[in-house]
């Protein structure tokens, strides 16, 4: 799912550049905003995955310490 948000972000920013080049500033702004939202969703998913991995590591360390 992270890759999908990254692709959506890239396509939206490229489309925004095209609309900016054509002089349609309002459409360019809206599409660029959509691209930024998609990028933030991608970043949020990456942070969630990293946080989940960290919680698993901490849980394993606590479990190992309690067995000793």
pLDDT in tens, 29-59: 999 999 999 999 999 999 988 887 787 777 6
In angstroms, the Cα distances linking 45 to 24, 27, 38, 68 are 32, 27, 11, 35
In this predicted structure, what is the pLDDT of residue 68? 58
Confidence tier at 61 by pLDDT (50, 70, 90): low
Q: What is the pTM of this model?
A: 0.73
In angstroms, the Cα distances linking 21 to 11, 16, 28, 54, 62 are 15, 9, 9, 44, 56
Among residues 36, 1, 41, the alpha carbon closest in space to that of 16 is found at 36
């Amino acid at each position: 799912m992270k890759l999908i948000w990254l692709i959506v972000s890239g396509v939206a920013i490229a489309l925004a550049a095209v609309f900016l080049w054509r002089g349609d500033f309002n459409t360019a702004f809206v599409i660029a905003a959509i691209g930024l939202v998609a990028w933030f969703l991608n970043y949020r998913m990456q942070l969630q995955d990293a946080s989940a991995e960290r919680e698993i590591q901490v849980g394993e360390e606590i479990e190992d310490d309690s067995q000793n």
